Amino acid sequence: MVTTTEQLPCPNFIAGEWSTPDVADFNPVYNPSTGEQISAAPMSGPDIVDQAVEAADAAAYDWWQTPPVERIRILFRYKMLLEDAFEELAKSVTREHGKTLQEARGDVRRGIEVVEYACAITELLKGECLENIARGIDCDLQRQPVGICAGICPYNFPALVPMWMYPLAIACGNTFILKPSEKVPLTSVRLIELLEQAGLPKGVLNVVHGGRECVDAILTHPKIRAISFVGSSPVAKYIFEKGTQNGKRVQAAGGAKNFVVVMPDAEIPKAVDGMVDSAFGCAGQRCMAGSTAITVGKAADLFIPEMSAAAQAINVGPTDRTPAGQLGAVISPEHRERIKQLIETGEKEGASIVVDGRQAKVPDYPNGFYLGPTILDRVNPSMAVHEAEVFGPVLNVIRADDLQQALDVANACAFGNGCCIYTRSGQVAREFRHRVKAGMVGINVGIPAPMAYFPFSGWDYSFFGDLHIQGREAIYFYTRAKVTTTRWFSAGEGDIWHKDK
C-alpha cells in the first residue's frame, strides 16, 4: 500500500509498480477547506506515458484471453474492498475536493454502482446469432476488446468519474491508462491500490499523473485505441478532434447549462428542496448542476422568496474536520475569483443579486476557498453569466411568460446535458419531455443524472462522440463487433481432395 502523507508527491502506477517519476514540475494538491497543500502531482511527459502504454500492451493479450468470469471474480473482490474502504474513500474525496462528507459518500457510492454493473459483463458481452441467413449459412456477432484504452478525468468527482471508465473497460477485456485530475489525484491512487489488492494482473491498469503535455501524449500515442474524457466543453471538443484525428475512438463529455423550469402549479416547497441540492450541491461544481431556474408566470412570486430563504439558511464551512457545513469550498482561489467576476458582470449587465455569497467568511479557516450561495434574478440569455458554465454555487433566475417561452430559452442554449421541470400536469410534463433539447430529462427531479445501467446521455455542446459513458453504450464503446458468416459443406461438396480421388 502506498501512503501519501502531507505534501508527499503522488506516485504513478506502471506495470504493477508504484513510483514517483523524476520530473521537473509538480502540481500542488490542496485541501480546499483549509487552503493547505496536502500533496503534489507529478507532471509526467510523453516518455512516461510511453512506459505506461508499453506496460498495458505487454498485458493486453493475456488479459483478453482471461475468461470474462475470471475478470468478474476480480471485480467482485474489488467491490467488497471498496465497500470496506467506503468511509475512507469518502473522507479522501472531501479532503482533496472540498465537498461535504454526504456529497462525497454519494460520489463513492455512484462509482461502486458502475463496478456492480461491470460485474454483469458475462451477460453484457453476449453476442448475437441468426441461423440460416441463407440456406445452410449461419451468422453470429461477437464483441471483442478494442485494445489499450485511456481515461482523462476532471476534478469535480474524484471517485465517480474514474470509476465511470476503467471498471467497464477492463471488464470488456481491455487494458487501461488512467490520468486523474492533477488537482485531486489522491482518491484515484487509493482506488487503484484496492484494485491491485483485488488481484488485477500487472499492467492491466496503469496510472499516470500530468497536465496538458501528458494529455497530448495520450491523444497521439499510436497504440492507444480509445479515450474517455470528462471536463469542460472546450477541452472536450479538443480531446475529440485531436483523438479522432489520430485514429482513436473518443467519448468526450463536456460542460452544461442545465435548466429547471418551475411551472405555476408546481409544489413550490418540493421545487425549492430540489433546487437547493441541484444548484448548490458540490458547490455547483458538477455538469448536472441546475444552474438556471426558469420561472413561468406567477411561479416567480412564490419560488424566489422561498428559494432565497433556503439559500440564506445554508451553512458555509469546512467539510473535512467538523460535521458543520452544508456547502463546502470551491476547488481553488483562482476558480473562486472567476465565479466572483461572473457574478459582478451579471450585476453590471442588469441582473438583480437576491442572495450574495461573495463575502462568505469562515473565521476558523480564513485560508479556505469559500464562496456562499448566490442567486441572480432577472437574468436574460444575452448575459455572460448565462452563456458561461459558471461551475459554482450560483443560481440564475430567468422569468418566462409560458412553457413555450421557457422551452425557447432552454432549446437556444448550446449545451444539452440536462433539463428538468416541476409541475403537477402530466400533459405539460409530456410536452416538455418531448420537445426539450437535452439528453437527460427530470420531471419533478432536480438532478436527472442516470444510474450506471443507463447512458450519461449529453447532447450537442455537452458531448462529443457517438457512444456515451455508462450503460450498454459504454460496453459498445469499449468493444468492437466481429461478425462471422459460416457455411459447412455437405459430404464431398467443394472438397477438392474428394474430387481428385
**Structural domains of the chain in order of their starting residue, each with its CATH number:** 44-254+462-485 (3.40.605.10), 259-443 (3.40.309.10)
**Three-state secondary structure call for residue 29:** strand
Identify the pLDDT of residue 244.
98
Question: Is the four-CA dihedral 151, 177, 114, 471 of positive or negative sign?
Answer: positive
Q: Per-residue pLDDT tens for 470-496? A: 999 999 999 999 999 999 987 655 555
Q: Per-residue pLDDT tens for 91-133? A: 999 999 999 999 999 999 999 999 999 999 999 999 999 999 9
What's the DSSP call for residue 366? T
SS3 track for 66-106: CCHHHHHHHHHHHHHHHHHCHHHHHHHHHHHHCCCHHHHHH
- Catalytic residue, chosen from 149, 287, 419, 420, is 287
Identify the pLDDT of residue 321.
58
Identify the pLDDT of residue 7.
63
Q: Residues of the chain whose pLDDT is less than 50?
A: 1-5, 501
Identify the pLDDT of residue 496.
56
Q: Which residue has the cell 476503467?
A: 166
Identify the pLDDT of residue 8.
81
Tell me the C-alpha distance between 354 and 112, whole Å. 39
Q: Which residue has the cell 467497464?
A: 168
Tell me the C-alpha distance between 59 and 43, whole Å. 25
Round the average pLDDT of the chain to a whole number and report it: 94
Task: Determine contact, residues 446/272, Cβ cutoff 8 Å.
Answer: no
Residue 78 sits at φ, ψ, to 5 deg, of -60, -45
Strand positions, DSSP E, 335-492:
352-355, 374-377, 394-400, 415-416, 418-422, 440-443, 459-460, 463-464, 479-487
Determine the residue type at 127.
G
Identify the pLDDT of residue 490.
75
Indicate yes or no: pTM above 0.75. yes
Identify the pLDDT of residue 326.
84
Q: In the annotation, is 214 catalytic?
A: no
Strand partners, 473: none
Identify the pLDDT of residue 133.
94
